[in-house]
A and B are shown apart, each in its own frame.
Chain A
Amino acid sequence: RKEVEQDPGPFNVPEGATVAFNCTYSNSASQSFFWYRQDCRKEPKLLMSVYSSGNEDGRFTAQLNRASQYISLLIRDSKLSDSATYLCVVLLVRNSGNTPLVFGKGTRLSVIA
């Protein structure tokens, strides 16, 4: 089983739509969780961290379910500029000096006018 699994997509949605991405992780000892965004032919960039209580940043909402080892990202009112690949990222061990992040392969989103 892969450490972090995501639906690769692509998700093709019209402008204004709401779209949700899901991610599962295999290591129950995982400590921290993130969503990164990667534009075509660019580097990944942090979109938002994911907290147990769930968190929202504008049109973006992230949720974590530790019991099910499941992370989600919801994008409301999709914009053309949201088109990108969204990477689910898990921090396996939280230990000073040891900070490996494990990246999912990403879910590709295309927002269509």
Chain B
Amino acid sequence: DAGVIQSPRHEVTEMGQEVTLRCKPISGHNSLFWYRQTMMRGLELLIYFNNNVPIDDSGMPEDRFSAKMPNASFSTLKIQPSEPRDSAVYFCASSDVGQDSYEQYFGPGTRLTVT
């Protein structure tokens, strides 16, 4: 079975550019989560969706960040304009809450560097 798929795996961009990160959750999972991980702050939840609906975006740092989930098999996280402090590893995770299991399955992450 394919796990959570993220693209690109690495992204290097210049300050001010738009960055779009993509995620395909595990088929059948009804919840999707976007995280950001840095050495200083650890793993932070940015936003999560349940049945394609955003439930809580309080972790989104600024208006420069936006996320969408147009269907059950695809989500994007966009940063516009990007800044050097956005450099981090961005993980997407999915889970199937209905089975009373809260295990989240993480994708391999996108390592973003903003210069």
Residues on A facing B (Cβ under 8 Å): 32, 34, 42-46, 87, 91, 94, 96-106
| Contact A99 to B31, CB < 8 A, known contacts A91-B102, A105-B42 | yes
Report whether A104 and B106 are in contact in the complex, using a CB–CB cutoff of 8 Å. no
Known contacts A97-B50, A97-B97, A98-B50; A103/B42 CB under 8 A: yes
Cβ–Cβ contact A43 & B109, under 8 A: yes
Q: A44-B43, A96-B97, A106-B42 are in contact. Are A101 and B104 (CB under 8 A)?
A: yes
Chain B interface residue number, banded: 20 to 34
Please tell me if the beta carbons of A43 and B91 are within 8 angstroms of each other in the complex: yes
Q: Could you list 21 A-B pairs, sorted by A, with CB under 8 Å? A: A32-B102, A42-B108, A43-B108, A43-B109, A44-B91, A45-B106, A46-B104, A87-B43, A91-B102, A94-B102, A97-B31, A97-B97, A98-B55, A99-B95, A99-B102, A100-B45, A100-B48, A100-B56, A101-B102, A101-B104, A106-B43
Interface flag for B103 (CB, 8 Å): yes
Interface residues of B (CB under 8 A from A): 31, 33, 41-43, 45, 48, 50-51, 55-56, 91, 95, 97, 102-104, 106-109
Instruction: Give the shortest distance, in Å, between B30 (CB) and chain A (any CB).
Output: 8
Interfacial chain A residues near B56, Cβ < 8 Å: 98, 100
Nearest CB to that of A87 among chain B residues?
Answer: B43
List the A side residues contacting B33 at CB < 8 Å.
Answer: 101
Q: How far is the CB of A30 from chain B (nearest CB, A)?
A: 12
Q: Closest A-chain residue to B92, C-beta based?
A: A43
Cβ of B109: which chain A residues have Cβ within 8 Å of it? 43
A55 CA to B95 CA, complexed, in Å: 23
Contact partners of A94 in chain B: CB under 8 A: 102
Lowest 10 CB-CB distances: which A-B pairs, in order? Answer: A105-B42, A43-B106, A103-B43, A97-B50, A46-B103, A99-B97, A44-B106, A91-B102, A99-B102, A43-B108
Nearest residue (CB) in B for A98 is B55
